[in-house]
């Protein structure tokens, strides 16, 4: 709906001046038709300013801004648009590689999937160049000399706000310095926050003297308690406090709570950083040229350390110091521990841990997205992990067959003990059976045709690599727009379950050597259910050990009677 604005009358200007208001040129100050002089007190207007219906401004300086309807602006030292700005769009963020080799250009609607193509697919330079060009064009189109504050937004106690686009229903309270950025709808920016060259997405929260520089903060992501992020992409549902991120691609649900924790030069996803987590991204020879990849669900124990380059398989628990540049990407659900200065890998051991089950279940429960621009697959049993487990079985089996007398094996600069290799094969095989049935049950394999190519995790979305390559090709040859690229990923998300079922069906055909009859498929599904039930019994037993009476130390300590201690223990769980 078109809004009507007008200049103030002479009578209104006299009243406003008596209320401490000043304008360089009152003819460049526009107000709504229903304007009341009581809306303004002690306000200095510079350049062109528009005041929306029922908005109240006091004790502030406003320069070249359009204020929406029903806003509250109070005690803002200076809110100004001094020159043309794209409000954070087109800012170059040197994620993953500190030297800029994987730089992404951010924009208001960027998704984790499109950012992944820009940063992690540098072997497709024409596609990367096309995406960067599209973002540059978009930034140019959105460049303006007037800033905006959306309807129903509140800005109070802020010091400097320069070239910042503030959308509807935002709250900015006590921010120290915001420059060249966008604050998305329903976002909150709090006390002493400093941010420059940034975009904050809807429902995100940046608070507690945190600092952003060249950063994207995704939907429902929280940054708090003095966290510092430089050249960092943080996508949906991340949570960062106290520590530091530098040149980080933080996929959905990346979490770092603790002081002295450093995330640097890497890609993270569904990741949890223990206290004192640390990494090094250069070897003091060639500079900060290296990177690490911590695949979905990996987590660091307290004071864990990894020297880049390195990569861990999905759902790996990292304990201790690791400096030998391990590559365990095809050994998911593992423990990577330091033992005598060496990296010891325990394949598949996390499949027996209730912690893994809890992690997978909690992410879906904690998903607070409304827009859901970032596509996220939550399925525990999926083609991506299944493919890795199958490769893990092949590798471990080959190790044992080639040297059956060995007590341990060297694997990509880690050590796998023979007993752990044998256990890993059994655990992986059971999990593959569980996965096949779950995927066949979850969708209709007849609705989709998929090849047998490897699946990858595109920053939260499971997809066949061949399909990703097809999208990459179309970006270049069909000149897809940014919106069309996002739509391609959305379409894959819609078809995911059927495609996963088709993957499972093709895999079963390969294992059996023929296309299975319906009765055979039903047997596979029934067997899968039994295996999943057995796996849950194991993880539930692990949970009971963790929450059993053997862990009752310190509960009910005021009582010597064991039953009283138990009651206190049970009452606090």
pLDDT digits (tens, 9 = 90+) for 403-434: 999 999 999 999 999 999 999 999 999 999 99
Which whole number is the average pLDDT over 231-239?
98
Which whole number is the average pLDDT over 247-272?
96
For residue 572, pLDDT over 90 is answered with no
What token pair was written down for 214? Answer: 């060249």
Query: Cα separation of 419 and 521, whole Å?
Result: 33
For residue 254, pLDDT over 70 is answered with yes
Residue 63's nearest CA partner among 81, 37, 84 is: 81
Poorest-pLDDT segment among 274-278, 393-397, 435-439, 554-558: 554-558
String of DSSP letters for 368-397: --SS--S-----SS-HHHHHHHHHHHHHHH
pLDDT tens string 6-57:
999 999 999 999 999 999 999 999 999 999 999 999 999 999 999 999 999 9
Element at 202 (helix H, strand E): none
pLDDT tens string 537-548:
999 888 877 777
Query: Cα separation of 127 and 476, whole Å?
Result: 6
The pLDDT value given to residue 551? 76
Asked whether 149 and 67 are in contact (CB, 8 A), the reply is yes
Confidence of residue 284 (pLDDT cuts 50, 70, 90): low
pLDDT tens string 119-166:
999 999 999 999 999 999 999 999 999 999 999 999 999 999 999 999
Residue 425's nearest CA partner among 454, 390, 455 is: 390
pTM of the model: 0.95
Whole-number average pLDDT of the chain: 95
Q: Which residues contact 471 (CB under 8 A, 6 or more apart)?
A: 117, 480, 485, 488, 489
């Amino acid at each position: 709906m078109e809004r009507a604005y007008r200049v103030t009358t002479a009578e209104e200007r006299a009243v406003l001046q008596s209320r401490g208001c000043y304008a360089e040129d009152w003819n460049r100050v526009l107000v709504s038709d229903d304007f009341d002089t009581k809306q303004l007190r002690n306000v200095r207007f510079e350049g062109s300013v528009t005041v929306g219906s029922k908005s109240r401004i006091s004790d502030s300086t406003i320069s070249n801004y359009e204020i929406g309807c029903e806003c509250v602006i109070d005690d803002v030292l200076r809110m100004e648009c001094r020159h043309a700005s794209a409000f954070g769009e087109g800012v170059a963020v040197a994620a993953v590689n500190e030297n800029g080799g994987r730089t992404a250009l951010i924009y208001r609607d960027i998704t984790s999937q499109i950012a992944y193509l820009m940063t992690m697919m540098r072997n497709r330079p024409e596609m990367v160049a096309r995406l960067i060009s599209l973002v540059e064009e978009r930034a140019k189109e959105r460049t303006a000399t007037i800033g905006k504050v959306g309807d129903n937004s509140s800005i109070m106690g802020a010091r400097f706000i320069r070239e910042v686009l503030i959308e509807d229903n935002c709250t900015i309270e006590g921010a120290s310095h915001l420059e060249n950025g966008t604050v998305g709808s329903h976002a909150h920016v709090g006390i002493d926050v400093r941010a420059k060259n940034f975009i904050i997405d809807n429902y995100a929260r940046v608070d507690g003297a945190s600092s952003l520089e060249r950063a994207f903060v995704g939907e429902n992501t929280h940054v708090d308690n003095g966290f510092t992020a430089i050249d960092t992409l943080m996508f949906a549902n991340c949570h960062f406090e106290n520590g530091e991120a530098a040149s980080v691609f933080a996929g959905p649900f990346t979490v770092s709570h603790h002081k002295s924790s450093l995330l640097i030069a890497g890609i993270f996803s569904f990741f949890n950083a223990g206290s004192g987590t640390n990494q090094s991204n250069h070897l003091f020879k060639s500079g900060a040229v290296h990177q690490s990849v911590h695949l979905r669900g990996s987590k660091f124990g307290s004071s864990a350390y990894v020297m880049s380059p390195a990569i861990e398989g999905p759902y790996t628990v990292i304990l201790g110091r690791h400096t030998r540049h391990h590559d365990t990407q095809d050994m998911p659900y593992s423990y990577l521990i330091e033992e005598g200065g060496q990296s010891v890998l325990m394949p598949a051991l996390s499949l027996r841990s209730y912690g893994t089950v809890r992690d997978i279940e909690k992410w879906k429960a904690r998903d607070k997205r409304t827009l859901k621009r970032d596509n996220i697959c939550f399925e525990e049993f999926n083609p991506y992990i299944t493919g890795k487990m199958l490769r893990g079985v092949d590798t471990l089996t080959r190790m044992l067959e080639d040297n059956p007398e060995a007590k341990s094996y060297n694997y990509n600069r880690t050590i796998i003990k023979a007993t752990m290799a044998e256990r890993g094969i059994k655990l992986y095989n059971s999990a593959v059976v569980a996965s096949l049935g779950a995927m066949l049950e979850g969708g209709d394999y007849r609705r989709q045709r998929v090849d047998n190519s490897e699946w990858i995790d595109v920053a939260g979305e499971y997809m066949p690599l061949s399909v990703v390559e097809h999208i990459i090709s179309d970006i270049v040859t069909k000149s897809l727009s940014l919106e069309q690229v996002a739509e391609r990923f959305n379409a894959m998300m819609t078809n995911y379950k059927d495609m996963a079922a088709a993957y499972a069906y093709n895999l079963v055909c390969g294992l059996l050597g023929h296309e299975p009859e319906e009765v055979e498929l039903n047997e596979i599904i029934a067997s899968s259910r039994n295996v999943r039930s057995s796996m849950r019994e194991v993880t539930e037993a692990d949970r009971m050990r963790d929450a059993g009476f053997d862990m009752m130390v310190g509960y009910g300590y005021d009582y010597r009677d064991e039953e009283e201690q138990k009651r206190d223990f049970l009452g606090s769980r």
